[in-house]
């Protein structure tokens, strides 16, 4: 990277009148492997301590005071965002049996409405629509609301649904008779995500979590019965594994998945026999992952009923196997789709006569359709690069149409129907963007940065076409660089109408597809986890340097953003290269990672050892995590002894967050301020929400307006108007 100066004092906004809260130092010694760390703010973990709540509220008040001068900007940004959104809208209906299921939103209402109408009835009939569930009615009187499960019985008579009103992700399940809207008397507390009906249309399988928020039990309930009579069907004793439940697409089986981060086991039950026993497809073997669906076969062509198994067994980037119903174990697996170098097989979706295959290659997604009878393979065309395709809801096994989604950073989300027999393509809906908008005004492209070990790291960019003069970039522009890089999650390029408020102010938006994600296959993930985790952070810095060196932006105009594990990334790069970024937005950031992963009493910690390593047992992993843990590496002075000036930082948290403790950003902010009082650090904690932040869409848009206002203010661009097209 070209040499860049440090943040000059003249670059900073004038000091705020409000004084930041000062969290008292109460040193606690944390010892592991003979190493002692002193944590001055360990006490901020106690949610039941009134002093902790008072401190969080003081931080919120301080953030509000500091941002008070941007309130007109926040309102302007919010108005821009809402003006582009078709607030009263309708999803594309999905056919399942005799019904078309869809969702609606209504202007002024924060939550969705779930509906259906008869597939063969008149669409415009006054009583055509049945409202199955109105989330707005369920959310009344609650500061937070989230729908966990929404599952309709095979005969379309009953709805099983669950709700969370705290953000803690412990849901209450209820049952509604759809023709009358009457609810069954029972409710089941403390359920998790996942519900599956048996074919008797009365039995529901559901999941419960343990004290550490690990889904570990599968229960069976019969609608109308007292939940105290529910039957515990399966319990997973290994703390490394979590449990999930679902149905095969052809409705033949209920599946129970038992998964750790690196190992899988699936059990199947005949959906016609709800009180029967689940049988194992293939016993778990360490490091072997697999997922299962079912193909009911075709007696006319001789294709037998079979399980379809996508696995990494003998294939780093996965392959698809098939196994007979009566002997589905590995000894009977037959390869259907072989592994291919550089191609990651993500999933398959079986149809009666076709197979939809979802793949990744060269940091892009694609869909292929394979005809069972001939083996002919046809790719789904994509108009742009980079762009993203995915499978939409395709619940009918016998359908001859594949529904899929398409988007890019410049093209709104679109829903297509592909006729699998004729190849005809129909655009059903493109996300409406109201007002003055034309996709042609924006340009998206793929670029590649070079990491310190010469690894090429993909970047996805979008910007106003008139920002670039000729074939190369123009002078440095303001830039927002986003990253995640964990759990093999791919940050595929997708459109956001909210983002237009930045693009139309001259911003470049970029996604750094760093190691630890899944964009380039399993090896890309493996090279960003365990002891190799630091690659995630150096990749992001390399992407930032690439944007600076190629003239897209400059350090005084570059902002980094990430959330959760991406918030860990934000904290790590702020320590690695504080002068490279003007500002950082770290949402629910996992910044106290070492202390958390050492604490087996916290939710999900043991599960996480297969992602980060186990610093309790492994001194080498302990040292690696300590070397990058953002909280542990906040520096007061640099190598030359001068004070370290961090980028402006906006951190967020959720008091009820079961995934990243609210105390992690709170402790981090306190330590950043103590390291250098000149650091401009803000903390905003949602006192009535969890990991996902505000639950209502209007609150979420206001939250985004606040983030954009922070970014613009940090760059000195608060008064920059939207550029006319």
**Joined tokens for residue 707:** 């983030």
**Catalytic site residue 657?**
yes
Q: CA-to-CA distance for 249 and 235, rounded, in angstroms?
A: 25
Catalytic position from the list 293, 317, 556, 657: 657
Residue (of 475, 413, 468, 423) closest to 443 by Cα position = 468
**Catalytic site residue 564?**
yes
Residue pair 115/181 in contact (Cβ under 8 Å)? The answer is: no
Q: What is the SS3 assignment for 179-238? A: CCCEECCCCEEEEEEEEEECCCCCEEEEEEECCCCCEEEEEEEECCCCHHHCEEEEECCC
DSSP 635: -
What sign does the dihedral 333-336-341-346 (CA atoms) show?
Answer: negative
Q: CA-to-CA distance for 390 and 227, rounded, in angstroms?
A: 38
Pairing of strands 306-311, 290-295: antiparallel
- Peptide bond just before 681 cis, omega within 30 deg: no
Catalytic position from the list 7, 171, 221, 691: 691
Catalytic position from the list 408, 496, 497, 564: 564
Residue (of 640, 717, 641, 656) closest to 688 by Cα position = 656
Residue (of 535, 538, 583, 576) closest to 562 by Cα position = 583
Quick one: angle between helices 565-576 and 534-549, nearest 10? 60
Residue pair 540/120 in contact (Cβ under 8 Å)? The answer is: no
The H or E element that residue 523 is part of is helix 522-526
Q: Which residue has the tokens 């930082």?
A: 649
Other CB atoms within 10 Å distance of the CB of residue 558 = 28
DSSP 529: S
Give exposure, 653-684, as e/b (b: 16+ Cβ within 10 Å).
bbbbbbbbbbbbbbbbbbbbbbbbeebbbbbb
Q: What are phi and psi of 370, to 5 degrees?
A: -115, 130
Q: Active-site positions?
A: 564, 657, 691
């Amino acid at each position: 990277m070209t040499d860049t100066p440090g943040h000059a004092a003249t670059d900073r906004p004038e000091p705020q009148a409000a004084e930041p809260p000062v969290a008292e130092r109460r040193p606690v010694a944390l010892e592991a492997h003979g190493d002692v760390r002193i944590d001055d703010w360990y006490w901020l973990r106690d949610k039941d301590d009134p002093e902790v709540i008072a401190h969080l509220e003081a931080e919120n008040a301080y953030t509000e005071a500091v941002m008070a001068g941007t309130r007109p900007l926040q309102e302007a940004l919010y108005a821009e965002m809402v003006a582009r959104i078709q607030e009263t809208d309708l999803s594309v209906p999905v056919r399942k049996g005799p019904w078309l299921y869809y969702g609606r939103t209504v202007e002024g209402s924060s939550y969705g409405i779930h509906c259906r109408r008869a597939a063969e009835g008149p669409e415009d009939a006054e009583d055509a629509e049945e409202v199955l569930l109105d989330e707005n009615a369920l959310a009344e009187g609650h500061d937070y609301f989230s729908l966990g499960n929404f599952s309709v019985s095979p005969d379309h008579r009953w709805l099983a649904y669950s709700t969370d009103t705290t953000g803690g992700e412990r849901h209450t399940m209820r049952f509604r008779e759809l023709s009358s809207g009457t609810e069954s008397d029972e409710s089941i507390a403390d359920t998790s995500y996942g519900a599956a009906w048996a074919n008797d249309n009365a039995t529901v399988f559901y999941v419960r979590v343990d004290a550490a928020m690990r889904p570990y039990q599968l229960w069976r309930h019969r609608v109308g019965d007292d939940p105290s009579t529910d039957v515990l069907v399966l319990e997973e004793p290994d703390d490394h594994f979590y449990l999930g439940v679902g149905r095969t697409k052809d409705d033949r089986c209920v599946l129970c998945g038992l998964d750790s981060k690196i190992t899988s086991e699936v059990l199947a039950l005949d959906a016609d026999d709800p009180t029967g026993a689940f049988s194992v497809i293939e016993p778990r073997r360490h490091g072997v992952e697999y997922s299962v669906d079912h193909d009911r076969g075709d007696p006319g062509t001789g294709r037998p009923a079979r399980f379809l198994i996508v696995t990494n067994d003998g294939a780093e980037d996965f392959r698809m196997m098939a196994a007979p119903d009566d002997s589905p174990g590995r000894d009977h697996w037959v390869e259907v789709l072989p592994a291919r170098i550089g191609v990651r097989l993500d999933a398959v979706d079986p149809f009666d006569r076709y197979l939809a295959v979802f793949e990744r290659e060269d940091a892009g997604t694609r869909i292929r359709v394979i005809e069972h009878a001939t083996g002919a393979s046809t790719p789904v065309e994509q108009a742009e690069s980079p762009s993203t395709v995915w499978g939409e809801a395709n619940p009918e096994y016998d359908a001859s149409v594949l529904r899929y989604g398409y988007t890019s950073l410049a093209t709104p989300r679109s829903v297509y129907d592909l006729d699998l027999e004729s190849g005809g393509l129909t655009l059903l809906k493109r996300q409406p963007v109201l007002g003055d908008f034309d996709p042609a005004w924006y340009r998206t492209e793929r670029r590649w940065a070079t990491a310190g070990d010469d690894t090429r790291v993909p970047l996805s960019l979008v910007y106003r076409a008139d920002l670039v003069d000729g074939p190369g970039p123009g002078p440095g522009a303001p830039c927002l660089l986003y990253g995640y890089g964990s759990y093999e999650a791919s940050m595929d390029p997708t459109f956001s109408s909210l983002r237009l408020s930045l693009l139309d102010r001259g911003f470049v938006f970029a996604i750094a597809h760093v190691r630890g994600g899944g964009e380039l296959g399993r090896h890309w993930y493996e090279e960003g986890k365990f002891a190799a985790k630091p690659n995630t952070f150096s990749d992001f810095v390399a992407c930032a340097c690439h944007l600076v060196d190629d003239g897209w932006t400059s350090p005084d105009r570059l902002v980094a953003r990430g959330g959760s594990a991406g918030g860990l990334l934000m904290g790590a790069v702020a320590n690695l290269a504080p002068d490279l970024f003007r500002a950082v937005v770290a949402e629910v950031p996992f910044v106290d990672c070492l202390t958390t992963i050492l604490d087996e009493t916290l939710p999900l910690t043991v599960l996480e050892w297969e992602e980060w390593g186990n610093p309790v047992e492994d001194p080498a992993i302990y040292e690696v995590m300590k070397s990058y843990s953002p909280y542990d590496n906040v520096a007061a002075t640099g190598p030359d002894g001068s004070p370290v000036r961090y980028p402006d930082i906006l951190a967020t948290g959720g008091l009820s967050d079961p995934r990243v403790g609210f105390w992690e950003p709170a402790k981090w902010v306190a330590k950043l301020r103590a390291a250098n009082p000149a650091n401009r650090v803000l903390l905003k904690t949602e006192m009535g929400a969890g990991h996902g932040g505000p639950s209502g869409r209007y609150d979420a848009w206001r939250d985004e307006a606040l983030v954009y206002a922070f970014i613009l203010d940090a760059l000195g661009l608060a008064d920059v108007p939207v550029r006319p097209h």
